[in-house]
Structure 1
Amino acid sequence: MFRRIAIIIALLGAAPAFADSFTFDSIDGSTLSLDDWKGQPVLVVNTASRCGFTPQYDGLQALYDTYRDKGLVVLAVPSNDFRQELASEAEVKDFCELNFDLDIPMTTITRVTGPQAHPLYKWLATQGFAPGWNFNKALIAPDGRFVKGWGATTRPMSAPITAQIDAALN
């Protein structure tokens, strides 16, 4: 019986329960793969340079600085889905380096909503998380499960986020 259910789910194209094998093009020209971070929690954040929440880059960098030696990865995913990102990757990279001195991993400008969304964001939608604005945050556990998501108003260094990160690291 269980095998039949598993086959039916597979045929229907049910979403995987784990975030693995997702890759992004890096803003630096290489490839970023979630497979490289297996065993580490990853906080994925859709960002935009012209958003009122853009000062959260400071908090994302502080979060990364606080937890990187313990294993946390903070992945910034610039997106123009909400019409607030600069026109090119070069502009985004320069803006973030000059204004925020970022060294967190960052993707190229990527779709995070709708039918053209990146596969990771399509998977997150099946887990009940879809960005409603810029600077939405999704925590992926070291084993690849979706843990929790937060909206733009939740600051990166806030207790709700750091408590979940601490739990994922232990």
Structure 2
Amino acid sequence: MSIYDFTATLEDGTTYPLAKYRGRPMIIVNTATKCGFAPQFKELEALYQKYRDQGLVVLGFPSDQFHQELDTADAAAAACRTTWGVTFPMHQLIAVNGPAQDPLFAYLKKAAPGALGTSIKWNFTKFLIDRAGNVVERVAPKTAPLTMAPAIEQALAQA
């Protein structure tokens, strides 16, 4: 199984295969617009703007797992755009833990366990995927996205 075997659903309901990003590094992050870490949207957007022409994709997956997200994917995406200037793709609301967890996040957690093993501790857990589709880094919720720049540059430098 690889990252490219999964599909994702945008906030508007459009489903697509992650294989469309084959050969491009990705940051996959669970988000919540009412979380104290929501200012990280600004840094995630800054990384996207800086590196997208080199191939980086940032994918936001809103989750109300920790009771800090708006009621719908449309509302969450609108808040991200208007409050934080987000232009990277935002997706449908998902669960990141438990029996209803999204299969993509089950895969990510298994590929890069964190301090709590295979659980997502909080909103804004970030996963860096390299050009080959490997999960190369799991970044804690409290860690600022901009600290990921060296690892992103390394992933971008891959052939």
User: TM-score scaled to structure 1, two decimals?
Assistant: 0.85
Q: Is the 8 A contact 1:39 1:142 kept in 2?
A: yes
AA paired with 1:148?
A: E
RMSD: 1.2
The CA deviation at 1:125 is 2.1
Q: 2:85 aligns with which of 101, 125, 128?
A: 101
Matches within 5 A, 1:12-91: 16=1, 18-91=2-75
The CA deviation at 1:144 is 1.1
Who wins on radius of gyration, i.e. which is larger? Answer: 1
How many matched pairs?
152
- Pairing 1:169–2:153 present: no
62-71 or 115-124, which deviates more:
115-124
The CA deviation at 1:95 is 1.0
5+ long unaligned stretches in structure 1: 1-15
The CA deviation at 1:150 is 0.7
Per the alignment, residue 110 of structure 2 pairs with 126
2: CA distance, partners of 1:128 / 1:104: 23
Tell me the secondary structure at the aligned position of residue 169 of structure 1: helix
Q: 1:143 aligns with which of 103, 116, 132?
A: 132
Q: Is the 8 A contact 1:32 1:107 kept in 2?
A: no
| Per-residue CA distance 1:27-65 (angstroms, 9 max, x = gap) | 133224210000001100100011000011100100100
2: CA distance, partners of 1:115 / 1:145: 25
- The ranges of structure 1 where at least 4 consecutive aligned residues each deviate by more than 6 angstroms after the TM superposition are none
The CA deviation at 1:90 is 2.3
